[in-house]
Copies of this chain bind each other. A is one copy, B any other.
């Protein structure tokens, strides 16, 4: 072996035991909660053909860490996202499986560049996808599964922020036509720039900026704004999705939020945890392309690394860690492990319980404090 420099590439890092075990604990809790709702875990590969991971037309494709595969002589990329891989599995290997098809996943993803908010280029992504429906019932289920998973992993209190990705299309092609470019209208609404809205002749959209904030008040404002009733179905849907979770989380509405919802069709949501600037997860309704057609789906993704860095899932490493002196009884040691103890066996007389991080030592009559 050659000498290993201590430095790693920018954005890549080692997780030491306290954090690595916390990450493992959090992942297990999230995956178990999703599986309890009938979501079968799938594991796509770390890399695949570049074309199947994203398109150069959008951010997904520009974000790829690519390389030439000497075996296939083709360009592969590390996966920047697992949702798309799950869509590929659902519409290929599992194309014939009954719908709705419920799948979940947990794994590392790698991005070409870090962002200022998130300096990591490799991160844990955990999520669930329900394929074959984007109905209100499907959206309600996926939001509930996300909240159950977060709760099981000890993540909270959370705020869920709903959005309506197609609200501008419904209005502009309906009661509120605009002369401005639709993408520009969407951008100004996303930026909450009232002055710009007036300048591009979209003053009629101004009340939308106020229909933002705590869910009940924002929904009331949205209904008042929707004099034509074109948003009635969407508003009813949001209320139906909110009903089973309103006592469990803080709910907000931001109908024109666009960030991170490039693919969502009619419903999106972001998950926030106090003290974390960026969302810890997002989800919604979307469509998976299948040849010339598409298949409806709902899903969510969580990125728990910043929470784990902040202490989520961490345990006292010395607790339940017991030192086994030289000449200890192997059967007693095995029964301690079966009872949940972590044993640390002495290899020499020089080994010391406290130095080796053990709060306990195995004495003649069982565990004693070190």
Contacts from A to B (Cβ < 8 Å): 1-17, 19-21, 23-24, 28, 31, 35-38, 40-49, 51-52, 54-55, 60, 65-72, 74, 76, 78, 84-85, 87-89, 91-94, 98, 100, 102-103, 108, 110, 112-114, 121-122, 133, 135, 137-138, 141, 148, 244, 263, 288-291, 317, 321, 330, 337, 341-345, 347-348, 351-352, 355-357
A102 to B137, CA, bound (A): 49
| A342: nearest chain-B partner, CB-CB | B38
Report B-chain residues with C-beta under 8 Å of the C-beta of A345.
Answer: 37-38, 141
Given contacts A35-B342, A40-B21, A108-B46, contact A16 B94 (CB under 8 A): yes
Q: Is B135 a contact of A288 with CB atoms below 8 Å?
A: no
A1 to B265, CA, bound (A): 12
| A323: nearest chain-B partner, CB-CB | B38
| A340: nearest chain-B partner, CB-CB | B36
Report B-chain residues with C-beta under 8 Å of the C-beta of A46.
Answer: 12, 46, 78, 108, 110, 122
Partner of A347, one of B88, B133, B330: B133
| A321: nearest chain-B partner, CB-CB | B38
Q: Is A135 a contact of B93 with CB atoms below 8 Å?
A: no
Partner of A24, one of B31, B244, B352, B355: B31
Q: Is B71 a contact of A356 with CB atoms below 8 Å?
A: no
Q: List 26 A–B pairs whose Cβ atoms lie within 8 Å, in order of A's numbering.
A: A1-B87, A1-B288, A5-B92, A6-B88, A8-B48, A9-B74, A9-B76, A10-B71, A11-B71, A13-B45, A17-B40, A20-B40, A28-B28, A36-B337, A36-B341, A38-B344, A38-B356, A67-B67, A71-B112, A71-B121, A98-B357, A133-B347, A133-B348, A135-B347, A137-B348, A141-B345
Give the 9 A-B CB pairs with smallest separation, nearest first: A17-B40, A67-B67, A6-B92, A38-B344, A4-B88, A15-B43, A12-B45, A36-B337, A20-B43
What's the minimum C-beta distance from A54 to chain B, rounded to whole angstroms?
A: 8
A51 to B1, CA, bound (A): 10
A92 to B4, CA, bound (A): 8
Q: Is A1 a contact of B263 with CB atoms below 8 Å?
A: yes
| A324: nearest chain-B partner, CB-CB | B38
Partner of A36, one of B41, B103, B342: B342
Given contacts A4-B84, A321-B38, A337-B37, contact A98 B138 (CB under 8 A): no
Q: Is B45 a contact of A14 with CB atoms below 8 Å?
A: yes
A251 to B70, CA, bound (A): 40
A343 to B148, CA, bound (A): 13
A356 to B39, CA, bound (A): 11
Report B-chain residues with C-beta under 8 Å of the C-beta of A67.
Answer: 65-68
Query: Which of A52, A85, A91 has its CB near the most chain B CB atoms (within 10 A)?
Result: A52
Report B-chain residues with C-beta under 8 Å of the C-beta of A351.
Answer: 100
Given contacts A1-B84, A1-B263, A45-B12, contact A317 B93 (CB under 8 A): no
